[in-house]
Structure 1
């Protein structure tokens, strides 16, 4: 059986977590196995701050040292006897990070990808060396040399033809002789070799890319929850595990913001009918959530998705004329240029209202881009999405809150409301 497994950063935030990952890999290493890893802990967030403050020498230097110290402390706990080869490999990557931080780029999105992509290189290096210390035969391959994308930095599109040829040529022979191939999630490179990323939380998608091209029998995402939940257990006390849903339902949940699965993950697996398993890393014996072609359980449980820190922007013409196709083209182009994903939209005769995740830099740039329109916006709102809703559920979460927008279809309701 050929498997692809993805391990997220939350599972590897300390030495104990990495040891557990090693145990899981060893448990499944008798069959051909590719593992895809995210950056350790909250390092992606730290690298994003480093990118944001790269023009401020004092702040960027402190952030850089904090990130380096975090990894070195982790190594001290993981390898108390030391590991000189790993230390040298980590130093090489931190030198790359320092160079990326000081380099001049054409735009901030290119800079983001060059800086933030180092997180996965660091984590994969550590995991690889830990597997070697366990006696597992492994090879570390940089995903930047495997996954080719366009140059749409921060949300790059995969060139499937190039990527398929490269992965088939390089990875298939390794799986014939090695226990494990280790690579990074989230990252790739464009045709000129510049680092790119596949969108925030894109490591799931990377696992699906490998699963599709290598014709895996299954792809597994290891999480710190029992499986795919119908709501966030950290937010809702009555969260339930979903035992089985279809690819279609999983795509819908991911699109609306279910945090367990990246939106692009499902399609490559559906294309080849490869099941996606979501399972708890703390107990591999527990039954996973299985995502496959079975549609019989899709409507059994309502799913609730909440997005905080939403912006509601109402866009109107300066002279109160109708919002027409030409206006919408300008508006959508501005959102696209500023890499802003619209979570909800509603049109009236003289106004177009949209909800999106707050990002102060992007919001400022968007306002400048839409200066020809009359703009009003609110911040600090909450977007509630319920799949397979009932009126009782809607009332439960809307009571005593101001509703700004509400949209219903046969299966889904979205409500933008005050927190």
Structure 2
């Protein structure tokens, strides 16, 4: 069984859906499972629905806009009267029905029930289209297979239960399913974290003992830097798991941080390839690859720099750190970089759930705090230390840290 993951950019419109079929023609469609993301910017649009719902604004018009977009795409793919049109309408009716009946004040719970529909709809459209052109496949609901706890918006996988659920897959049949979603023990939808479709693919690959896993992107593979952010970048044709995990940890957007560990455990080769040039080799990540010594650049934007100090100028001790980390975990704020001195702790953090102000409020009960919002974190791996400042030389440097041949700099 081969696992292929197609992201939002690869199914953003009718022509892109047709291109998925062209990619499959080059790869072979026998015994494979396709993981599909929501189309284009659908996730953002459905997030707006949830925002409007809680703000008691008109969310129905947002739902209608997303629905019309999917129907327009489908009109270019299917003949009039095709059953897929009724199914698309039903998905959106389900969203409206859920929001009308919902009594839960839990934002994260509501988010997962609404935003997850993007993947369900896109995968249904792709599955129906492939069947129509004789790429025979079975559509399946990922929530029936990936079982999680009820940590909405960032579910933790119940691996034992998930493996049991996946035992019935036929290795010779082709399937189309969704990324990003699973379900808890009450069968409510739980998402796996923003951009979690790569992780979904790794979960399926692990549990099904896949031969390979391939993620299809609009870039040639893993580059030494995002070509939209850095000049003179090149393709990394081979990476060790260690390299890839390190790059994901530092924030390389092309690899989801949780994706690699399940693959590494079973030594499943992992490819990143271009859906625009499917015959090109892309990047191979595997256990037999040597560690790369190429200089590479990673940029994480929309970070916040937080400085925490004791009120009495005493040392930042273990009990202080325990208290700080507990509050970070409670507010689901992730640390991207940490540096401490005797009386202060500097944290560059990522605030996915917009809870930085609540964190600061709680911290100020015991500590003095200072926050600089909307900063950028540059990471240079295998850095040429003599000229590593070339990528941020015109920026205001707020924090710098050098570890072996890795340079990390926070700027604004």
How do residues 25-44 of structure 1 correspond to structure 2 at under 5 angstroms? 25-44=24-43
Q: What's the C-alpha RMSD, in Å, of the aligned pairs?
A: 1.7
* SS of aligned partner of 2:271: strand
1:336 maps to 329
1:247 to 218, 241, 249: 241
| Partner SS for 2:76 | helix
State yes or no: 1:118 paired with 2:105. no
Q: How does 1:5-154 map to 2 (within 5 A)?
A: 5-79=4-78, 81-102=79-100, 103-154=102-153
Contact 1:26–1:136 (8 Å) recurs in 2? no
Q: 3-state DSSP class of the match of 2:379?
A: strand
**Tell me, what secondary structure is at the counterpart of 1:391?**
coil
Describe the superposition over 1:104-155 as per-residue Cα deviations: whole angstroms up to 9, x where unpaired: 3252222221121111111111111111111122111101110001111111
Match of 2:316 among 316, 323, 327: 323
Is contact 1:51–1:101 with CA below 8 Å preserved after alignment?
no
Give the aligned length: 410
Residues 151-197 of structure 1 show CA distances to partners (whole Å, capped at 9, x for unaligned) of 1111111111000010112x23xx33x3x201101100111111111
Q: 1:229 aligns with which of 210, 223, 226?
A: 223
- Which residue is equivalent to 1:354? 347
Q: Is the 8 A contact 1:247 1:270 kept in 2?
A: yes
Change in Cα spacing, 1:393 to 1:10, as seen in structure 2 (3 Å) is farther
For the residues of structure 1 that align with 2:85 and 2:106, how far apart are their CA atoms? 32
The 4+ residue runs of structure 1 with deviation greater than 4 A are: none
Question: Does the Cα contact within 8 Å between 1:303 and 1:387 map onto a contact in 2?
Answer: yes
Q: 163, 183, 193: which is aligned to 1:199? A: 193
How many angstroms apart in 2 are the aligned matches of 1:218 and 1:191? 30
Is 1:286 aligned to residue 284 of structure 2?
Answer: no
Partner of 1:368: 361
Indicate if the aligned counterparts of 1:316 and 1:351 stay in contact, CA closer than 8 A.
Answer: yes
Residue 85 (structure 1) shift: 1.1
**Structure 1 position 283, deviation (Å):** 1.7
| CA deviation vs aligned residue, 1:11-64 (integer Å, no higher than 9, x gap) | 111100000012223444442000000111011111122222212344422321
Q: 1:223 to 1:30 in 2, by over 3 A?
A: closer
Q: Which runs of 5+ in 2 are unaligned?
A: none
Q: Is the 8 A contact 1:9 1:42 kept in 2?
A: yes
Counterpart of 1:256 (choices 247, 250, 255) is: 250
Q: Say which SS state the counterpart of residue 53 (structure 2) adopts.
A: coil
Q: 283-292 or 33-42, which moves further after superposition? A: 283-292
When structure 1 is superposed on structure 2, of 352-361 and 274-283 the one drifting more is: 352-361
Cα distance in 2 for residues equivalent to 1:99 and 1:219: 37
Gapped regions of structure 1 (runs ≥ 5): none
Distance 1:338 1:88 in 2: 41
1:74 deviates by 1.1
Distance, in Å, in 1 between the alignment partners of 2:290 and 2:277 is: 27
Question: Would you say the 8 A contact 1:228–1:278 is kept in 2?
Answer: yes
Contact 2:29-2:135 within 8 A present in 1 as well? no
